[in-house]
Amino acid sequence: MSSSPAKALPARQQTGNGVSSRSSVSQRRRVEKLKQGYGEEEDGSNTPTGLNTPYSTSMGSISSYSSSGDYAQSEGEGSEPALDPADSVDGSPGKRDSAYNKSSKRQLTQEERELFLRLEKEWREEDSWAEQPGSWYSMLAWMPVLIALRVFNVFLSILFWPVSFVARVFFGKEIHSVSFWDVPLARRKQTAVVLLFVMLLPMIMVVYSWTLILLIFPLTTLPTLSYLIWIMYIDKSHETGKRKPFMRYWKMWRHFANYFPLRLIRTTPLDPRRKYVFCYHPHGIISLGAFGNFATDSTGFSRKFPGIDLRLLTLQINFYCPIIRELLLYMGLCSAAKKSCNQILQRGPGSAIMLVVGGAAESLDSQPGTYRLTLGRKGFVRVALDNGADLVPVLGFGENDVFDTVYLPPNSWARNVQEFVRKKLGFATPIFSGRGIFQYNMGLMPHRKPIIVVVGKPIKIPKIPDELKGRALSTTAEGVALVDKYHEKYVRALRELWNLYKERWAVHRQGSLLIQK
């Protein structure tokens, strides 16, 4: 292998025909830090720059694809593999499939070179914007939140000191935590915003409990009952998508995106005169990539897809919860019921919906490093055919990596219990753990691992005769054949999207894409 560095590339980003000694030394040092358990330090002192910089070694250098070199080399002979710093909290690098371990070198197309150049420019601009200091009223609004986090940190330190002492003395295990003052202000804000989103799920139970109390209390019975009648029988905003989603444009969501970080990649422009059905994969535990990229504007969806009015869809039961439903509606979320899909897409050109196609069933297959997709249902294809809306495949690389999960094999007794609960109650019960707010061993907070969401090329759906719409797509031979045809087209497009970008953003995969029909 030639020892000369690739032309016009920084030492840490050379991946062409050679790797400089400086690059090798820096990567060895980075690997040593990972082995010492420095993967996810909140204070940032031991965190390699790749965690927050998408064009650095952790996610793969964008420059290695977009620079003057004509070749992309996924892993050169004699070079050390680039590790995701947040993937090695336990000191062990992620596994890769055999295809990635082989040296693969191919010539980039002009389209790919332009894409990676554009991505590098966009991501640098986004990072520069995120580093700008906030206004005085923004700091004033953040002050009570940061004070509350500080008080909570002190409370947890007192509460967990005996547990930490017992674990260290009797079991030889250390519970790693970090002082509130050691955490940079930007990362405190990121943690606070992600905590707000994660707490929405347990808050649903709290809201239902308070609603019951208000119904029983005589002075609040009538107003509470009136509000419940309004949200259940009168207000249909969750089906029509007519609420103005002003909350999705709040700047605080940028902190949500920077926590992981989240990135949105547009591979091709979308015609605002068409209608679209976006399909997100994989579901993961709580679809953080779908929420951050498509329910908020934190990664620039409105700028990258101008004229597209998108609604992220979720379970209809979520819109029967007082107060929480208002937050969801003003974020632009709507019901995933078929009636809702049709009404939103019939609003005119530029209308679009985002479905997490795998649903609750796919969340049970979530496991770090894996991409098991559930595509047995074809309802999303029928919705697209009914409304003449193009199908857009979307892959979230890293969605399954942000939580540690216990994968239960199909047909095991524990998995059968999970499937029984899912079919009877409509939601899944995956076994998972993340990190805490001020410690990294366990908790409901996701790990700081990048989620790269790639929006593929749309599959054009033709207008079909009225006699083939609705039930005819499921009951007639011609309708079923049409659904099967476009379902197969969608699966092929999804595989092509995976094959094109897996070497770039699925470097720690433990297998290839698995689609279960």
Q: Which two tokens stand for residue 138?
A: 């923004």
Cα separations (Å) of 122 from 129, 206, 267, 303, 331? 11, 41, 13, 11, 24
Residue 127's pLDDT is 67
Residue 165's pLDDT is 73
Residue 147's pLDDT is 76
Residue 510 has pLDDT above 70, yes or no: yes
Residue 30's pLDDT is 43
Q: Exposed, middle or buried: residue 107 (CB in 10 Å: 0-12, 13-18, 19+)?
A: exposed
Question: Which ranges constitute the DSSP H helices of 131-270?
Answer: 136-170, 185-198, 200-216, 218-229, 237-240, 253-259
Residue 1 has pLDDT above 80, yes or no: no
Residue 140's pLDDT is 74
Q: What is the pLDDT of residues 63-120, one digit of tens each?
A: 333 333 343 433 333 333 333 333 333 333 333 343 334 434 456 677 667 777 777 7
Q: Which residue type is seen at 37?
A: G
Most confident of 15-24, 116-125, 261-270: 261-270
| For range 387-395, the mean pLDDT | 95
Residue 55's pLDDT is 38
Residue 276 has pLDDT above 90, yes or no: yes
pLDDT: which is higher, 305 or 41 = 305
Q: Which residue has the tokens 């089906």?
A: 239
Residue 294 has pLDDT above 70, yes or no: yes
DSSP string, 69-112: -SEEESS-TTPPPP--GGG-TTS-PPP--HHHHS--EEEPPHHH
Q: d(Cα 462, Cα 455) in Å, to the nearest integer?
A: 21
Residue 17's pLDDT is 39
Q: Which two tokens stand for residue 38?
A: 């420095």
Residue 103: how many CB atoms within 10 A of its CB? 12
Q: Is residue 138 a contact partner of residue 80, using CB atoms and an 8 Å limit?
A: no
Q: Which residue type is seen at 40?
A: E
Lowest average pLDDT, out of 90-99, 163-172, 278-287, goes to: 90-99
Residue 120's pLDDT is 73
Lowest average pLDDT, out of 186-195, 306-315, 419-428, goes to: 419-428
**pLDDT level of residue 251 (50, 70, 90 thresholds):** confident
Lowest average pLDDT, out of 241-250, 298-307, 423-432, goes to: 423-432
Q: Which of 330, 271, 333, 331 is nearest to 306 (CA)?
A: 271
Residue 344's pLDDT is 95
Residue 484 has pLDDT above 90, yes or no: yes
Residue 502 has pLDDT above 60, yes or no: yes
Lowest average pLDDT, out of 23-37, 378-392, 416-430, goes to: 23-37
Residue 8's pLDDT is 39
Q: d(Cα 495, Cα 486) in Å, to the nearest integer?
A: 14
On average, the pLDDT of the chain sits at 77
pLDDT: which is higher, 514 or 145 = 514
Residue 177's pLDDT is 63
Residue 130's pLDDT is 61
| For range 184-203, the mean pLDDT | 87
Q: Which residues pair with 393 in a beta bridge?
A: 279
Q: Which of 402, 333, 394 is nearest to 367 (CA)?
A: 402
Q: Is 8 helix (H, G, I), strand (E, B) or coil?
A: coil
Residue 43 has pLDDT above 80, yes or no: no
Q: d(Cα 150, Cα 141) in Å, to the nearest integer?
A: 15
Q: Is residue 81 a contact partner of residue 93, using CB atoms and an 8 Å limit?
A: yes
Pair type for strands 372-374 and 514-516: parallel
Residue 301 has pLDDT above 70, yes or no: yes
Residue 189's pLDDT is 86
**pLDDT level of residue 137 (50, 70, 90 thresholds):** low
Lowest average pLDDT, out of 139-143, 161-165, 174-178, 431-435, goes to: 174-178
pLDDT: which is higher, 395 or 84 = 395
Q: d(Cα 168, Cα 368) in Å, to the nearest integer?
A: 28
Residue 180's pLDDT is 59
Q: Model pTM greater than 0.85?
A: no
Q: Which residue has the tokens 């279960």?
A: 516
Cα separations (Å) of 43 from 40, 48, 439? 9, 12, 12
Q: Which two tokens stand for residue 386?
A: 């009914």
Residue 437's pLDDT is 80
Q: Which residues pair with 439 in a beta bridge?
A: 177
Residue 359's pLDDT is 86
